[in-house]
Structure 1
Amino acid sequence: MVSKIAIILILGFLLAEARFRSEKEQDDRKWELEINEDGNPEFKKEAIKIHRNSRHKHSKTRRGLIRLNQKDNEEWEAFKHLHNRKFHSIDTENKRLMNFLKAKEFVQKHNEAYELGDISFKVEINSFSDLSHDEFEPFTGYKQSPQLNSKNSVFSWNPPVNATIYGSIDWSHYGYVTPVKYQGRCGSCYAFSAVGALEGQYKRLTGKLISLSEQNIVDCSRTYGNGGCKSGWFTTAFQYIKDNGGIDTAETYPYMGKEQQCISRQRNSGVKVTGYVNLPYGNEEQLKIAVATQGPISIAIHACELTFRGYKTGVYYEKGCSSNMIDHAMVAVGYGTDPKHGDYWLLKNSWGTSWGEQGYIRMTRNRNNNCGIASYASFPLIH
């Protein structure tokens, strides 16, 4: 028979082991989500007790999800509901949440600087705030440099002589611009830029504003070197439209946000192109003259900074962006001068009306071709 002493020793050992396991498991669950010196979120083992009111000190739940304080949790749940976020794994949600928390802190610090007058524009949490750089990339879609095509129909830029150049202009006020569109998770900004310029030129020629088909360009200009939903050039789109004998209207060839088989029909062509004009590289004054005298112009910029993704209002200036690393195409529909923040370009984006100033952005003008605003600018010639 086992002695009472032996039984007591065995029970004591089992209790001690259970307590050790419990403490170990509890310790393994305690993690902190912090923003490091480089501005990136990362997990760290908890060194001190987690404070309820601390901004970025969160622990992990038993399921592995990051445990948030009440304010962060409410904002994250509201964000997921607003943008219809549904995650298929805990790891994916944690990664997106880390991006969201990073964006949240960035927005707060940036807007504090705006209120102090140190920055000329505000940013906000929007539908891009939980995306990584790679996840955001499909929302752009302009290739680095124009492709040379043996069949190209490029014409030299000859500024109009004695033309009136107004101090400001907004072609949307004159019926040259269709409502803001949404490209979705398809790198087709080049198609939206080309179509925006074409719509303006057609209005200038005929007095009629017609919404034209971006999907036509996405599906049918791939044989010219464009990548469908994987980026392209607006000049190549102009060349395709010229050779095709026109472009479909949006009504006859609606946008689907994905690549499809080309189904362009000549009878539905809304606009015929004879060629296109490339403006001088990096010359903002010539871009101004072109916008003033020709109407909306296709342009491309460097847009992958967090400040651009989160732009809300104001005159955008980003010292960290490049005038050469171009990745996103838009339409220059005007220019003007803000009494507080100076000269700006008015650009129509293709990210819907919830982004920026109802889908538009005012970008700084006459500040050394900031973000490459005048590096690649073109407009089509039509008849």
Structure 2
Amino acid sequence: MLAYSLSSLAAGVGVKSIAPTRHSELLPRAEVEALGIVWKGNSSSETSHDSLAELTSYPDDFTWCDKDGVNYCTPSLNQHIPQYCGSCWAHGSLSALADRIKIARKAQGTDIQLSVQHMLNCGNAGSCHGGSLDGPYQWIHSQPAGISYATLQPYMACSAESKEGTCAHGDWSCTPMNVARTCGTFGQECVGLSHFPNATIAEYGHISGARAMQKEIFARGPIACTIDAAPIEKYTGGIATQRSFMTDHVISVVGWGTCPKEGLYWIVRNSWGEYWGEQGYVKVKSGALALEQACAWATVQDFTAPERHNQYACFEDGSNCDASKPGADTPPAKEGAMLGKLHEALGGGL
């Protein structure tokens, strides 16, 4: 877990200096598999990625943040507040999934943000001291209720073993309170919710290489990838060009561009906040920072949204959705799907 990335071989544009070492936020393969995660796993032997049409050539410039004048990218996040937490593996994966939900919604309605803290509390795919690229999608795929929304379980940058900041004083176990919660007025206790907005995954997979990345991104949306982050800690702009051999961080790739000098480069959203880089983004030359070694994708199965008519409305204090009460055990994803089907049967559609 305390592995270090190799130093880079060349300086790139906009990178003022390179940190000699940094703690890896990616667990070694043995630790990943000990968590029950399939290394470079796919949800099936033949995935839908394999059947995607591969173009002879792709556009020189393509980004989901400005596709035909529409922004399908969800906001850049910061994994390091309210205290340091090595949860890039959860941030990168969930940001890419949230983008795909926005794509499915045709960029209509308010952005849906998924709960990184729910993943830290329950996902068994890592912690604030590191995780895996493939674990988040594998875990969400296995859960009938998928992942909750961030408004129900805000990010606290804590996991069970964390000692930093406020973490030592909290409970980060996987309980209904730590999946989705709300709190009543002064003097009332908070309650874990039995029904809550959530998103589920239909399929997931692992890919590598520039062509596979372009095919997946162009056809379906952003993806999560590993990267050597040491050379970009002090990145301020331009295109990072360093060659690397190891990765220690997870980001999401939302598109690509080309320039006369460097050729193809990736448009990368990090999870270090908008104060860093180009408002949370970095451009990475194709072949640099080991970015093309390992990527993960997921397809959206379902999500809670007004236009889908699949929300179970809880009271302001959560009293009608209190998970501690008898009978409050209907899986939200299944219930949401049933509500949607009922609405469709009544002529409303989805």
Q: TM-score range by the shorter chain?
A: 0.5 to 0.7
State the shift of 1:273 in Å. 1.0
From 88, 98, 104, give the equivalent of 1:205: 104
Q: Identify which of structures 1 and 2 has the higher relative contact order when contacts are C-alpha pairs closer than 8 Å and 6+ apart.
A: 2
Q: Does 1:181 align with 2:77?
A: yes
2:43 equivalent among 144, 154, 171? 154
Q: Does 2:255 correspond to 1:337?
A: no
Residue identity opposite 1:182 in structure 2:
N
CA distance in 2, matches of 1:161, 1:141: 34
Is 1:168 aligned to residue 39 of structure 2? Answer: no
142, 145, 161: which one aligns with 2:26 = 142
Contact in 1 for aligned 2:96/2:252 (Cα 8 Å): yes
Q: Residue 93 of structure 2 is aligned with which of 194, 205, 212?
A: 194
Q: How many equivalent residue pairs?
A: 245
- The secondary structure found in structure 1 opposite 2:14 is strand
Cα 1:176–1:267 change in 2 (3 A) is farther
Query: How far apart are residue 143 of structure 1 and its match?
Result: 2.5
Report the counterpart of residue 179 of structure 2 in structure 1.
Answer: 264
Matching residue's letter, 1:308: I
Structure 2: which 5+ runs fail to align? 1-9, 160-171, 181-193, 302-350
From the superposition, tell whether residues 153 and 124 of structure 1 become closer, same or farther in structure 2 (CA, over 3 Å). closer
Q: Deviations over 1:66-91 (max 9, x none)?
A: xxxxxxxxxxxxxxxxxxxxxxxxxx
Please tell me the residue identity of whatever aligns with 2:79.
Q
Which amino acid is the alignment partner of residue 286 of structure 1? A
- 1:94 maps to which residue? none
Matched with 1:352 is 273
Which amino acid in the other structure matches residue 332 of structure 1?
V
CA contact (8 A) 1:246 1:269 kept: no
Letter in 2 for 1:221: G
Q: State the alpha-carbon separation in 1 of the partners of residues 105 and 59 from structure 2.
A: 23
| Counterpart residue number, 1:255 | 155
Q: Partner of 2:90: helix, strand, or coil?
A: helix
Q: Which amino acid aligns with 1:206?
A: R
Aligned to 2:337: none
Confirm or deny: 8 A CA contact 2:27 2:131 kept in the other structure.
yes
Matched, 1:240 2:150: no
CA contact (8 A) 1:166 1:292 kept: no
Matched-pair contact (CA < 8 Å) for 2:206–2:297: yes
What is the TM-score normalised by the length of structure 1?
0.58
CA shift for structure 1 position 377: 0.6
- Of Structure 1 and Structure 2, the greater helix share is in 1
Q: CA deviation at 1:380?
A: 0.9
C-alpha RMSD of matched pairs (Å): 2.6
> What secondary structure, in the 3-state scheme, does the structure 2 residue paired with 1:121 have?
coil
Supply the AA of the counterpart residue of 2:279: Q
Measured in 1, the distance between the counterparts of 2:281 and 2:14 equals 14
Q: Deviations over 1:88-107 (max 9, x none)?
A: xxxxxxxxxxxxxxxxxxxx
The CA deviation string for residues 117-156 of structure 1, in whole angstroms up to 9 with x for no partner, is: x95412348xxx9x884xx52xx62234464647975243
Q: How does 1:84-95 map to 2 (within 5 A)?
A: none
Equivalent in 353, 364, 372 of residue 285 of structure 2: 364
Unaligned runs of 5+ in 1: 1-117
Alpha-carbon distance change, 120 to 228 in structure 1, aligned in 2, over 3 angstroms: closer
Q: 1:149 to 1:359 in 2, by over 3 A?
A: closer
Instruction: Check the 8 A contact 1:159/1:290 in 2, yes or no.
Output: no
User: In 2, distance between residues paired with 1:227 and 1:119?
Assistant: 32
Q: CA deviation at 1:206?
A: 2.6
Percentage of matched positions with identical amino acids = 25
Worse-superposed segment, 206-215 or 287-296: 206-215
Larger radius of gyration: 1
Is the alpha carbon distance of 1:179 and 1:149 closer, same or farther for their aligned partners in structure 2, counting shifts above 3 Å? closer
